[in-house]
Amino acid sequence: MTNVTVTVNGTSRSAEVEARTLLVEFLRNKLNLTGTHVGCDTSQCGACTVHLNGKPVKSCTMLAVQADGQNVTTIEGVAPGSDLHPMQAAFKECHGLQCGFCTPGMVMSALGIIARHQGRALDEKTVRQELEGNLCRCTGYQGIVNAVLLGAKNMGVKVA
Ligand code: FES
Ligand code: FES
Which ligand has the shortest distance to the CA of 140?
A: 2
pLDDT value, residue 79: 96
> Is the pLDDT confidence value at 119 over 90?
no
- For 73-107, the pLDDT digits (tens) are 999 999 988 899 999 999 999 999 999 999 999 99
The phi, psi pair for 57, rounded to 5°, reads -140, 155
The predicted model gives 131-155 an average pLDDT of 97
> Is the pLDDT confidence value at 5 over 90?
yes
Q: Is the CB of 134 under 6 A from ligand 2?
A: no
Which ligand has the shortest distance to the CA of 101?
A: 2
Q: Is the CB of 135 under 6 A from ligand 1?
A: no
pLDDT value, residue 81: 86
Q: Whose CA is nearest to atom 3 of ligand 1?
A: 43
**If DSSP codes are grouped into helix, strand and coil, which group holds residue 24?**
helix
> Is the pLDDT confidence value at 41 over 90?
no
Give domain status of residue 15, yes or no. yes
**Distance between CA 81 and CA 9 in Å, rounded?**
12
The predicted model gives 3-23 an average pLDDT of 98
Are 25 and 64 spatial neighbours (Cβ–Cβ below 8 Å)? yes
The number of distinct structural domains making up the chain is: 2
The predicted model gives 102-127 an average pLDDT of 96
Of 64, 30, 158, the C-alpha closest to 50 is 64
Task: Name the percent of the chain lying above pLDDT 90.
Answer: 94
Of 118, 120, 43, 112, the C-alpha closest to 75 is 112
pLDDT value, residue 118: 87
Q: For residue 124, what is the domain's CATH number?
A: 1.10.150.120
Q: Is the CB of 62 under 6 A from ligand 1?
A: no
Q: Is the CB of 158 under 6 A from ligand 2?
A: no
Give domain status of residue 135, yes or no. yes
Q: Is 136 exposed, middle or buried (0-12, 13-18, 19+ CB in 10 A)?
A: buried
DSSP 20-38: T-BHHHIIIIIS--TTS--
Q: What's the CA-to-centroid distance between 136 and ligand 1, angstroms?
A: 12
Cα angle, residue 18 at apex, residues 15 and 20 outer, rounded to 5°? 125
The phi, psi pair for 151, rounded to 5°, reads -60, -40
**Distance between CA 10 and CA 18 in Å, rounded?**
24
Q: Please report the atom of ligand 1 found closest to the CA of residue 37.
A: 1
Mean pLDDT of the chain: 97
Whole domain around residue 99: which residue ranges?
86-154
Do 30 and 70 reside in the same domain of the chain?
Answer: yes
Do 64 and 101 reside in the same domain of the chain?
Answer: no
Are 76 and 33 spatial neighbours (Cβ–Cβ below 8 Å)? yes
